[in-house]
Amino acid sequence: MKYAFATAAVALAAALGGGAAMAQSQTFASPDDAIKFRQATLKELQQNFKVIADMANGRAAFDAAKADSSAARAAELIKQPWVGFGPGTEGGKAQPLVWQEQDKFKAAAARAEEEVGKLAVAAKTGNIDAIKAAVGAAGGSCKACHDDFRRR
């Protein structure tokens, strides 16, 4: 069973691109392990994104170095959770549509990867206006995926 999840993980990671190099080495002993992995990765992603969003929205003082490091980490993390959505890993907060509408899910994941990547590029500039623009687009891509594929 462990090998079935590893094979599914490699296939899904390759299909999604982006984080495929990291994801290919990821294996799960059980579906529950895959669910825990994706949830932990997405939680850490959200925590890093919040640091930047709080700065962009004026809820926290702007710190260019902190924004850069948080955005860079978010850009790494956004590439990782998709391997945890392989066949047989239904559950957690993911809706059945993740597995029923794979093309739509993969497109939403790819868009989120792209927008969070743009946020990391904007954060490297140290320009708060560029960061504000990128935060909106990145947050919107995350929200769109949650609206369609996450249970409330």
Predicted pLDDT at 25: 52
Q: Which domains does the chain have, with CATH numbers?
A: 40-82+90-149 (1.20.120.10)
| Confidence (pLDDT) at 100 | 96
φ and ψ at 94, to 5 degrees?
-75, 135
Indicate yes or no: pTM above 0.85.
no
Short-list 82, 77, 138, 137, CA closest to 105: 82
Looking at residue 21, what is its pLDDT? 36
Decide: 5 and 28 in contact? Cβ < 8 Å.
yes
CB atoms within 10 A of CB 97: 13
Task: Note the pLDDT of residue 14.
Answer: 40
The more confident residue out of 125 and 19 is 125
Rounded CA-CA distance 46/51 in Å is 9
Give the model's pLDDT for residue 107: 97
22-67: per-residue pLDDT in tens? 344 578 999 999 999 999 999 999 999 999 999 999 999 999 999 9
